[in-house]
Amino acid sequence: MQNISLISYGYFDKALLDRIAENISQEFQSQVELREGHLDLSLYYDPGRRQYNGTRLLEVVDKLPLESSYKILALFNVDLFIPILTYIFGQAYLGGKSGIVSSYRLRNELYGLKQDDKLLAGRIIKVCLHELGHMHGLVHCSQPQCIMRSSTYVEDIDLKERYFCGECNAKLCE
């Protein structure tokens, strides 16, 4: 069985990381190796946007050695952008080995709402599965509840299920 490395850059609760790993393991039938990463994030900060460049962070993650893993997913707590979008929840190379996810815009507190750790965990898991779907070659899906449906707003993530639709699942199994 091949491993997926889940690398946390910044503080994430151990119980949350275990829950993310369990969901990834179940969905992709892979072992998930939890690792801690260290990176000077100031190198990726854009003061004009007051955000971190997701494209550049993804490039760094993509250069990490795979060791015993065939995919690497990095978790961040900072606000990410790519030049053509105001912000992103995550990003991955289509059919590639690496992806990134940020919890920053998934937190209720950012929107003036009460903290909800259960909802946050569900959102992070959905974004992780979505980005891993891209890493396994899946493009965005038109099925409203499929995990591969594009999400522009956090509410879009809430409306999706935590699973791949039948068509996307069939493509994954190929």
Write out pLDDT tens, residues 57-67.
999 999 998 77
- The reported pLDDT for the residue numbered 119 is 96
Helix 14-28, helix 117-135: angle, nearest 10: 40
CATH number at residue 74: 3.40.390.10
- The reported pLDDT for the residue numbered 59 is 97
Residues of the chain with pLDDT below 50 are none
Mean pLDDT of the chain: 95
Domain count within the chain: 1
Whether residue 23 contacts residue 162, with contact meaning beta carbons closer than 8 Å, is answered with yes
pTM above 0.85, yes or no: yes
For 60, phi then psi, to 5°, come to -65, -45
- The reported pLDDT for the residue numbered 88 is 95
- The reported pLDDT for the residue numbered 68 is 78
Domain range enclosing 39: 3-173
Q: Which residues of 57-84 are buried (b: 16+ CB within 10 A; e: fewer)?
A: bbebbbebeeeebebbbbbbebbbbeee
Give the C-alpha separation, 149 to 13, whole Å.
27
Write out pLDDT tens, residues 31-77.
999 999 999 999 999 999 999 999 999 999 999 987 778 999 999 99
Give the C-alpha separation, 83 to 54, whole Å.
9
Which residues are tagged catalytic? 131
